[in-house]
Amino acid sequence: MDWLGQRQNVLSQNIANADTPDYAPQDLKNGPFERLLTRQLAPVAPAATHAKHLAGSAPGERRVQSQDQGETYETAPSGNAVVLEEQLVKVAETQMDYQTMTNLYRKHMQMFRIALGRGGS
């Protein structure tokens, strides 16, 4: 969650400097946890246990990998390479990831409360 907060700050600086001459947008690399998972986990292939099962796809197989910020779509005549639409998409992705982490944490704490006999609310 800390990495997502830092990324949000970097993206907001990019948006704030959208009109600054010669400003190059910045971005953070994927967090160490995500890099660790992609190196350690092999893709999972679904197994059909019945002839009428539909062919599936591995989780995350269609996930779109973000491009390095060095590859921008356009550069203004002033040398500024910030594309607002691109930055806003990244902000939205970061917000969704943060909300997902918050929900996972809340559910995890709820499971602890249930296990300790203190109710699930």
What percent of the chain has pLDDT above 70? 66
Q: How far apart are the first and last CA of the chain?
A: 23
pTM of the complete model: 0.58
Q: Does the residue 121 lie in any domain?
A: no
Q: Could you tell me if 80 and 18 are in contact, meaning their C-beta atoms sit under 8 angstroms apart?
A: yes
Q: Does the residue 24 lie in any domain?
A: yes
Domain that holds residue 69: 2-115
Which range has highest mean pLDDT (36-45, 66-75, 88-97)? 88-97
Q: Does the residue 120 lie in any domain?
A: no
Q: Does the residue 46 lie in any domain?
A: yes
Please state the domain count of the chain.
1
| Paired tokens of 9 | 């700050």
Query: What does DSSP assign to residue 47?
Result: -
